[in-house]
Amino acid sequence: MIRKARGGPTPWGRKVAGVREFAVGFDWADAKERVRQAVDIAELVGDYVQLRREGRGYKALCPWHDDSRPSLQVNPERQSFKCWVCDIGGDIFTFVMKMEGCDFGEALQLLADKAGIKLEPRGASGDVNAAVEKRDMLQALAWAEQRFHAYLLNAPEAEPARKYLADRGLTHDTIVRFHCGYSPNSWDWLVQQARQTQFPQKILAQAGLIGERTNGPGYYDRFRGRVLFSIRDPQSRPVGFGGRVLPGISDDSPAKYVNSPETPLFQKHNLLYGLDVAKEAIQRTGTALVMEGYTDVAIAHQCGFKNAVAVLGTALGERHVKLLKRFADKVVLTLDGDEAGQKRTDEVLGLFVAENVDLRVLTLPDELDPADFLLERGAEEFAARVERAPDALEHKYRMMAARCGGNPSLHEASAIADAILDVLAKAESQLDSFSTELSIRANAAVARLHMLTRIPEDKLRKSLADRRKKAESAPVRDLRLRGGGDHAEPPSDQFVDQPDLPRFRQAETWLLEILIHQPELLADVQESLTCEDLRRGLHREIYSAACELHHDGVLADFDRLMLRLEDATLKKALIDLDENRRAKNRAATIEEVRELVRVLHERSNSDRPATEPPENSDSTRYHEEHQNDPQLARLQALLKRERNRQGISVPTDG
């Protein structure tokens, strides 16, 4: 029987000193190659899940969905993995990024530590100093977390803090699990504690633990007199704190809650409270519960909702959703029942449009926050409400309809639709590209809006199209995809300026499949085919990487492309191309490759629309008009030859 290895930290331990602290002046290619050669993917995956041998590879239960029949395949020869159900694949770096919820730099560091490879920055001494400072800050934060936590649990002076947490419903086990702490109401308690350590006051200040006095020399404790909630990154490293003032203990502070200041380690728009302990449950259930308070999350976990996390005193934003998408397919935003909790609808709806995620909104009644609701009404009722939570579009409609008495007139429904379409168009205009995925989501949103308002769908589509034109006043979007790195975005499968065709997309796919398996042909192809001649974003990025390798004098084969690409979506696409060509089990001729290039090159330079029969058109008339099209004729001939080799019949147009 195959059993998933769940729970606990990374099986091979954590020794990460910092977050991509070697990025500037660092030889990434050399580091990636050394780590790739040193880490066996079967051994790596086997540290997380139990593998069993099957032929020349391995199989396991997939850790990203509820798998009963092993669907995760590991190919030790290609040093790759793939789950056919989740449609996820990649190499050792992709696997760690997916399992640990980290970026490429962190995955590289984790794997280097596993292999015993020391990664050091090269170049300016400032880069080295910055890396050392981040390491020291992480160590200082871990030390401070331990001191705060021990003081809360053991110090007699911390009794008011223990009573406050108990009154809020937190048990001792929950306090320990979330590393809660307390900072005594003293101006320099932590400063004095640090004198007995190796941490200079400068490092404590850079980490946001103490502040520099303005009325004299020295430093003061930033969190004095506060119950502390330790904020950790997805790798379980303390990076900051959230402090709640105790009533009657530290009344000199006007703010009820205070977070750590922004530091190189702590950016509230990139962090979610509790993600380090929730990510396993989020992966298992495919759902993340996002709340607005630290206590809400702690109580939720205590009541069995171990997939709960919280934003850090800010609204759920784009970066939060991108972080959650590493683990979840569905996000349920739980809003407090008070008025402040109801003002996030436009932002949430914009995220619904912009991100490929099932975003739902749960509004609690009677001005209750999640912690109070769970303690007063129980986990069962809360779970039922989570299950019934509407998506962001329906939530927006319900909120606006409620202002009209719950049953809007036709005129009121039209006004509501206008407001929602404005949000949709604005969100779309802020994206880097209008992808096919976004087009599908926009169409679904319009269909839903039709069902809610009963306004004809064609009228809604026209209205949305008009709003898009107004919103697109910015310059033409840059269609080049951003590469890997801290700010890498998954490449969208977009088209340049017009809908693409199934036949031409297949030609692009075949060409890339051939080049991956016969990279020696790239020199001939590159002379006449540019990245702009390819319509699919994934294809352009992979082809661009191959051309860069060729320019550097490196054979652009599968292994080297996997090393060059950092984005998980691109790696998965590369594996698909590789496996598709292996299944064909034949080499292409240079004449076939040149024919594909000519077709794609001519299509790219053509000013007229792509030659595919439009929907609901008269097929006979269409083919009469395009029967002499040389592009279409050559491509159809290629398609026919390839299908005949594979035993596939050519479909008719009828």
Kindly report the CATH number assigned to the domain that includes residue 67: 3.90.580.10
The answer to whether residue 540 sits within a structural domain is yes
**Minimum mean pLDDT range among 65-79, 550-564, 592-606:** 592-606
Q: Does 512 share its domain with 432?
A: no
User: Using an 8 Å Cβ cutoff, are 363 and 373 in contact?
Assistant: no
Q: Does 373 share its domain with 463?
A: no
Whether the pLDDT of residue 161 is over 70: the answer is: yes
Q: Does 238 share its domain with 300?
A: no
- Most confidently modeled of 108-117, 609-618, 623-632? 108-117
48 or 583: whose pLDDT is higher? 48
Confidence band (pLDDT; 50, 70, 90) for 8? Answer: very low
- Sign of the four-CA dihedral 205, 209, 211, 217: negative
Q: State the pLDDT at residue 27.
A: 57
The answer to whether residue 20 sits within a structural domain is no
Based on the structure, what is the number of domains in the chain?
Answer: 5
Q: State the pLDDT at residue 346.
A: 66
* Residue 492 token pair: 């969208």
Q: State the pLDDT at residue 563.
A: 82
**C-alpha separations of 522 from 541, 550, 571 in Å:** 15, 8, 19
Q: Does 332 share its domain with 463?
A: no
Which residue is listed with tokens 């989020």? 282
Q: Output the pTM of the full model.
A: 0.61
Q: Does 40 share its domain with 161?
A: no
Q: State the pLDDT at residue 343.
A: 60
Give the 3-state secondary structure of residue 35: helix
Rounded Cα distance between 243 and 227, Å, is: 5
Rounded Cα distance between 166 and 182, Å, is: 14
Q: State the pLDDT at residue 605.
A: 58
579 or 333: whose pLDDT is higher? 333
* Residue 134 token pair: 């981040």
Instruction: Give which of 186, 175, 187, 185 is closest to 150, Cα–Cα.
Output: 175
Whether the pLDDT of residue 448 is over 90: the answer is: no
Q: State the pLDDT at residue 475.
A: 37
The answer to whether residue 654 sits within a structural domain is no
Q: Does 213 share its domain with 305?
A: no
Q: What is the CATH number of the domain that holds 156?
A: 3.90.980.10
Q: What is the CATH number of the domain that holds 548?
A: 1.10.860.10
Q: State the pLDDT at residue 526.
A: 81
31 or 361: whose pLDDT is higher? 361
Rounded Cα distance between 325 and 311, Å, is: 15
Q: State the pLDDT at residue 349.
A: 78
Q: State the pLDDT at residue 287.
A: 93
Confidence band (pLDDT; 50, 70, 90) for 550? Answer: confident
Whether the pLDDT of residue 280 is over 90: the answer is: no
Sheet strand arrangement including 88-90: 52-54, 57-60, 72-75, 80-83, 88-90
Q: Does 103 share its domain with 143?
A: no
Q: What is the pLDDT of residues 381-396, one digit of tens each?
A: 999 999 999 988 888 8
Q: State the pLDDT at residue 626.
A: 41
In the predicted model, what is the mean pLDDT of residues 404-426?
84
**Minimum mean pLDDT range among 50-59, 417-426, 629-638:** 629-638
Q: State the pLDDT at residue 503.
A: 56
Whether the pLDDT of residue 166 is over 90: the answer is: yes
The answer to whether residue 15 sits within a structural domain is no
Rounded Cα distance between 17 and 113, Å, is: 10
Q: How many CA atoms lie within 13 A of 116 on its CB side?
A: 0
Whether the pLDDT of residue 121 is over 80: the answer is: no
- Most confidently modeled of 337-351, 469-483, 556-570? 556-570
Which residue segment(s) compose the domain that 62 sits in?
28-115
Instruction: Give which of 394, 373, 395, 392 is closest to 384, Cα–Cα.
Output: 373
Whether the pLDDT of residue 627 is over 80: the answer is: no
Q: Does 186 share its domain with 259?
A: yes
Confidence band (pLDDT; 50, 70, 90) for 478? Answer: very low
Q: State the pLDDT at residue 311.
A: 93
Instruction: Give which of 88, 65, 12 is closest to 43, Cα–Cα.
Output: 12
92 or 636: whose pLDDT is higher? 92
581 or 386: whose pLDDT is higher? 386
The answer to whether residue 175 sits within a structural domain is yes
Confidence band (pLDDT; 50, 70, 90) for 496? Answer: very low
Whether the pLDDT of residue 457 is over 50: the answer is: yes
- The Cα angle at residue 16 between residues 14 and 22, in degrees rounded to 5: 160
In the predicted model, what is the mean pLDDT of residues 593-597?
82
User: Using an 8 Å Cβ cutoff, are 433 and 492 in contact?
Assistant: yes
Average pLDDT, the chain: 77
Q: What are phi and psi of 109, to 5 degrees?
A: -65, -45
In the predicted model, what is the mean pLDDT of residues 610-627?
39
Confidence band (pLDDT; 50, 70, 90) for 128? Answer: low
Q: Does 524 share its domain with 639?
A: yes
The answer to whether residue 345 sits within a structural domain is yes
The region that residue 328 occupies, defined by phi over 0 for left and psi between -120 and 50 for alpha, beta otherwise, is beta
Whether the pLDDT of residue 629 is over 70: the answer is: no
Q: State the pLDDT at residue 403.
A: 81
Beta strands in 246-283 (DSSP E): 257-259
**C-alpha separations of 460 from 412, 427, 483, 544 in Å:** 15, 17, 36, 39
Confidence band (pLDDT; 50, 70, 90) for 17? Answer: very low
Q: What are phi and psi of 89, to 5 degrees?
A: -160, 165
Q: Does 377 share its domain with 309?
A: yes
- Reported residue count of the chain is 654
Q: What is the pLDDT of residues 306-358, one digit of tens each?
A: 999 999 988 888 888 888 887 888 999 997 655 555 566 667 777 777 776 78
Domain boundary among 350, 365, 389: 389
- Most confidently modeled of 177-186, 279-288, 604-613? 177-186
Domain boundary among 115, 150, 175: 115
The answer to whether residue 234 sits within a structural domain is yes
Confidence band (pLDDT; 50, 70, 90) for 222? Answer: very high
Rounded Cα distance between 30 and 172, Å, is: 48
* The amino acid at 199: F
- The Cα angle at residue 607 between residues 605 and 608, in degrees rounded to 5: 125
Q: Does 526 share its domain with 616?
A: yes
One DSSP character per residue, 499-561 reads ---HHHHHHHHHHHHHHHH-GGGHHHHHTT--GGG--SHHHHHHHHHHHHHHHTT----HHHH
Burial class (CB in 10 A: 0-12, 13-18, 19+), 73: middle
The answer to whether residue 394 sits within a structural domain is no
User: Using an 8 Å Cβ cutoff, are 243 and 258 in contact?
Assistant: yes
Q: Does 255 share its domain with 281?
A: no
Domain boundary among 419, 449, 471: 471
Share of the chain above pLDDT 90, in %: 25
- Largest distance between two CA atoms of the chain: 91
Q: State the pLDDT at residue 331.
A: 93
